Structure 1
Amino acid sequence: MRKSVIMKLYIFLSCIVLIHGAAISDEECDGVTIDGIYYDKEVLKTDLDHPYSLVVDFDSNVLYFSHNLHETDNIYNTAKINLHTKDFAELDGVKNGFAQTVDQINHVLYIGSSKGIFKYDYTDDNTAKLFAVNDTDIWDLYINDVLYYIEYPSQFLYTVKNGQTERFKDLEEIKVGHFAIDDEEDMFYSNVTGLYSQKKNTKDSVHYKDLNDGDDIVGIRTDVNGKVYICGTDGIYKVNKDTTSVEKVVNAENVFGCAFDGNNNIVYADTTSLIHLKPSNNKNC
């Protein structure tokens, strides 16, 4: 009788240990696995209102982004946060800064606002100065061979070169929501109808994905190697040019933007927070 009671108690305690261990494991392993590598989710900052248009200077590992200053007014401002130290600061001198892109060669930030494009050099005085297209509302920015910008509300794509602006001829009659160019000179862009690619200096587009009025995509970004990723509202996707498709690599809700750090790790935003995916040292995950 006593032996039977002891055995039951042992089994009961063993079950508790197993359940407790599973709970700990689930709690510790709430990160993301990408291409066989497990990443921890490091929360960089919370209490933000819709952080948007993320971009990282690969050299300094400083993340730039926009966020809403007042929930009722939709007034955006550009801010920055150091991915190593988490030091945070608002940038001055740009009214309603909404879109960002970084010149990775010269380490210069360009900010698109409701009043044009501003240039911010963090070696200067921590302020941004008007660069181009005064009093033009900028929807998105991207820099490659030249600076590209999308005007709002027309959503036509323009370039800035040697101080001169002109409509980008490759997509002259096409409205664009987001835009990037990969390491093979393939342009990727989205609009209300879908996601497309197009070889630069041609007019021949390739359809990748249908979209719901374009709202499914909140950004198109290139990683350190020039590979294209799509920031979708339900997660982050990488482009597969062999199959003309996109493949989800991060499943997340309410994504508002994504970018890559200097080590090619993903940073993304939800409605209130900035999350940094970092390779984990946890051998149990």
Structure 2
Amino acid sequence: MHLILILATAAIIQAAVIKEDEVKPCDGIIIDNVYHEIEELKKDIDRPYSLAVAYSTNRVYFSYSLNKDDDVFKTAYVNLNTKEFAHIEGVNNGFAQAVDQTNHDVYIGGSDGIYKYNHKKKSAEFLGVRDADVWHIFFKDVLYYSVFPSQFLFTYINGQSVRYRDLEDTKVDQFIIDNEDVIFFTNTTGLFSQMKGTKEATLYHEFSDVGVRGLATDINGDVFVCLPDGIYKVDKSDVSLRKMLAIDDVFGLAFDNDNNIVYSDATKLIRLKPNKDKTC
């Protein structure tokens, strides 16, 4: 009798172990109660930065470091449909990328000016702003760019560069413009917003140490922010940042033409694809 009980108990324990082993851990990410699969787009790249997606081709353009000691950067892209990876030739130290989604133009900022990508030649051609070290670049109706080390913000229209009047007395590091013509910008003090046509800025987030690493708008024009510990969404209703996703050492952010999150950490590019039929 005792032997039967022992054997029965052992069988129950073994069944429980087998059942536990069959339970697979959650290998995705939950965002707003929706399961997202993690798709690795490119790995073994150093600090991919300044991400911008061209919706017409679903390519993500970005820069990454070729040499940690000398801060030499190269612009490249990954095709989000095929995962094709390629460098963009013709740019000296390509560091910043922007896309005109209406005309499908890709702009690249380098250490000696602004370039425009020629899709047919598959290389970049010099556009203007000779000898300027372009730090950040964005397109909405016209081309905007900031320069290093002055951190002045300019517009580039019809071959002419002009200081952006609304922020001519303010240093600007990174910046982006949302769907309501509010410009969000950063400097050593913090993250601010300011309605175009005004000079009144609103502080969203004050920096105590490391600041914003990336700004992005999704296909709806909503603004998202990369801080070193994750991705945040701007909530203009109460002037706050809502944490969407915890990521260690996040560097850049963009959205593909299906509004999926594309982000980078210190060594790779990742896309998050929602799967409503799956849960953790």
Q: TM-score, normalised by structure 2?
A: 0.96
**Is 1:133 matched up with 2:134?**
no
Aligned amino acid, residue 5 of structure 1: I
Q: Matched residue pairs, number? A: 279
Distance 1:208 1:18 in 2: 49
Distance 2:270 2:54 in 1: 17
Q: State the identity as a percent.
A: 46
**Is 1:147 matched up with 2:143?**
yes
Distance 2:278 2:3 in 1: 41
1:208: how far off? 0.9
Q: Which residue of 2 aligns with 1:114?
A: 111
**Is 1:244 matched up with 2:239?**
yes
Q: Which residue of 1 aligns with 2:222?
A: 227
Question: Unpaired segments of 5 or more residues in structure 1?
Answer: none
Distance 1:11 1:217 in 2: 54
Asked if the contact 1:31/1:40 (under 8 Å) is kept, the reply is yes
Asked if the contact 1:218/1:256 (under 8 Å) is kept, the reply is yes
Aligned amino acid, residue 192 of structure 1: T
Distance 2:34 2:276 in 1: 11
1:256: how far off? 1.1
1:282: how far off? 5.5
Which of the numbers 98, 103, 116 marks the counterpart of 1:101?
98
Asked if the contact 1:219/1:230 (under 8 Å) is kept, the reply is yes
**Is 1:87 matched up with 2:122?**
no
Q: Which residue of 2 aligns with 1:58?
A: 55
Q: Which residue of 2 aligns with 1:218?
A: 213
Aligned amino acid, residue 166 of structure 1: V
Q: Which residue of 2 aligns with 1:272?
A: 267
Asked if the contact 2:34/2:276 (under 8 Å) is kept, the reply is no
Distance 1:11 1:203 in 2: 72
Aligned amino acid, residue 99 of structure 2: V
1:266: how far off? 0.6
1:10: how far off? 2.7
**Is 1:75 matched up with 2:75?**
no
1:17: how far off? 2.7
Secondary structure of the structure 1 residue equivalent to 2:47: coil
Q: Which residue of 2 aligns with 1:7?
A: 8
Root-mean-square deviation (CA), in Å?
A: 1.4
1:201: how far off? 0.2
Q: TM-score, normalised by structure 1?
A: 0.94
1:186: how far off? 1.1
1:88: how far off? 0.7
Secondary structure of the structure 2 residue equivalent to 1:101: strand
1:206-236 C-alpha deviation (Å, 9 max, x unpaired):
11111135x3311111111111011221111
Secondary structure of the structure 2 residue equivalent to 1:13: helix
Distance 1:133 1:117 in 2: 6
Asked if the contact 2:111/2:133 (under 8 Å) is kept, the reply is yes
Q: Which residue of 2 aligns with 1:258?
A: 253
